[in-house]
Amino acid sequence: MSKATDGTLVAAVIQMRSGRDVAANIDAATQLIRQAAADGATYVQTPEMTNLLERSREDLFVKIRTEREDPSVAVFAALAAELQIVLHVGSLAIRTGADKAANRGFLFGTDGALLARYDKIHMFDVDLANGESWRESATYQPGDEARVVQAAGTLIGLGICYDIRFPALFRAQAGAGARVLTAPAAFTRQTGEAHWHVLQRARAIENGAFVVSAAQGGRHEDGRETYGHSLIVAPWGEVIAEIDNDAPGYALAELDLAKADEARRRIPAIANQREFSLAGLRDTEAAE
């Protein structure tokens, strides 16, 4: 695929099966990023927890480092500069204190400079069928700041995984001008099978934006299963690139950014949005 022309970018989603060895995960990501860049990608995104998937809290804190000390941050910054791509590391597990961490995404520019970091806002604290249970907030400190960043010739909104279930986050980013929205993920298999595609497509349709979401896939060393199916969705809701399985790999699509503007003209949902109040049952009864 050729390099992007004016008003377009070539986006790639990197699908991984990260394990418990940080160095091995960095190497696996690096190989796929190089392949995607060689295939013409100008914006490359890796999944949530690129550097480590470790369910044991004790083992996690043995392996993770602060942002300054984390080896993957330096590797990926240098790789972005070498390949002259915008590199979006979906997230890394980053130590922020003795017993707390951040689920933190990084966006590096074509010169390797850090353009933005984003700490996942919504924590995956859920109890699923068949006894599967997650308490992300027991380990990770949630962020409280949404991010929209100028990169790759457009505004990009940063999100991570469970954030995709919170439409207000993406509507705020689209309202600020973002034409590309992101939700790199490590979606569980059972929630992915049920909801992954419809959530990605819904965020694209309601915001008239591209949605780019790299994913973890398969059975990991810590025992979890993730869904894979890394996606790129166009503003009208059609899937324009997908890894239709849970194996490591990459997929590319050329994003014609004018399609976001066109979708917003056809269905001006952002412009038509109005503030409203919510009346309670007692208020309604009183009015009657």
Integer Cα distance of 88 and 101 in angstroms: 20
Sign of the CA dihedral running 175, 176, 180, 184: negative
> Quick check: is 132 catalytic?
no
Answer for the pair 44, 212: CB distance below 8 angstroms, yes or no: no
Answer for the pair 186, 179: CB distance below 8 angstroms, yes or no: no
Which residue is catalytic, options 48, 54, 242, 254?
48
> Quick check: is 259 catalytic?
no
Which residue is catalytic, options 58, 100, 120, 145?
120
Which residue is catalytic, options 161, 242, 254, 259?
161
Q: Which residues are catalytic?
A: 48, 120, 161
